[in-house]
Amino acid sequence: MAEKARIFYVNYYGQPPFKHSLEAPGTAELLELDPQASRSEIDTILRTAVGYQISSGVNDIPAEYRADAALLARTPELLLVSTVGAGYDTVDVAACTQAGVLVVNQAGGANAQAVAEHSLGMMLALARHMPQADRDMRRIPNLSRHHYTGQNTQHKTVGLIGFGNVGRRLARLCIDGLQMQVLVHDTRGEPAGLAEHGVQWAEFDTLLSTADYVVVCCALTEATRSLIGAAQFAAMKRSAYFINTARGGIHDESALLQALEAGQLAGAGIDVWDVEPPPCDHPLLQRHDVLATPHIAGATVESREQAAIGAAEQILTILRGERPPRLLNPDAWPAFEARYRARFGRGLERD
């Protein structure tokens, strides 16, 4: 029997369907790398593994096990790194490309519906002051319901920063369910076919100054890191709500706090943080106009199962010598091909 390809993980590999789908064909096995194990046990796994299933959350992975140049030097057989989710903050893609290691994520929309629903839920909850009412009912006797008069979301304007799988689904929910006007801006430029989705392109400044809800739907990249700071919050309407269910680091937390303190915004819904989970004494968590969740927008039973199965399928695709559908570094393919041939003694499958 041919040797099984060894795929390892640290702390977290996703949902059980990942392990089942990966190991069912009998060509691969999933191994846990315990950071507390002996150096010899750890080195054995790193030295022989061909794949790494890595968490997308930087706080889930000890620094020495993030997929960077230092780890790649310890994994001479490694051919692929697969992230559990759409994010790849735990992976140095450039270092992997240089080493001939493929990097794939689960950005094909497995959790897009969950994130879109969570974003819409935050919009509705903020507009109707649900967080404040919930907290106050638990501590204030005989409170007046008139203090929590909110606003309808119907016919309002939502500005989406990014228009990928999440943005498109959120736009459809807003248009079909609430007859909202949807403005879109993307740092990569205007996507084709916006009219088919019933949305309008807007320059960044126009979107910020026009939207009743500004929702971040883009990935964290060098172009989007610190995209929204003091100047951008100041440009928004004082009645606007800011929502980020994408990635921490896209908005400046200190600038958001200052904007809320100054009354420049009506409120914010934040699911992603610079440090996750944020400390309980985080200033934003002390405010009644902030709806906070601990990076759970994409965390549903359905989305995690779909992402787990998709991740396993991509790994098996690579092990067969075929190009995976969600390849983040296609420039690594030539070097990967040579390394694949050396490792398995056969060439890649051709289209």
Catalytic residue among 251, 287, 295, 339: 295
* Catalytic-residue membership of 247: yes
**Residue among 218, 87, 114 nearest 159 (CA):** 218
SS3 of 139, please?
coil
CB within 8 Å of 345: residues ≥ 6 apart: none
How many CA atoms lie within 13 Å of 37's alpha carbon, on the beta-carbon side? 15
DSSP letter (8 states) at residue 244: E
129 is written with which tokens? 């002051």
Catalytic residue among 129, 247, 251, 339: 247
Locus of tokens 């029997």: 1
Catalytic residue among 276, 313, 322, 337: 276
Q: Residue 2 CA to chain centroid, in angstroms?
A: 36
> How big, in percent rounded to 5, are the helix, strand and coil portions of the chain?
40, 15, 45
* Catalytic-residue membership of 168: no
How far is residue 47's CA from residue 345's CA, in Å, rounded to a whole number?
A: 19
Buried b (16+ CB within 10 A) or exposed e, 184-220: bbbeeeebeebeebebebbebeebbebbbbbbbbbbb
Phi, psi for 7 (deg, rounded to 5): -115, 130
Evaluate whether 116 touches 169 at the Cβ level (below 8 Å): yes
**Residue among 108, 115, 71, 344 nearest 244 (CA):** 115
Phi, psi for 79 (deg, rounded to 5): -115, -20
Active site residues: 247, 276, 295
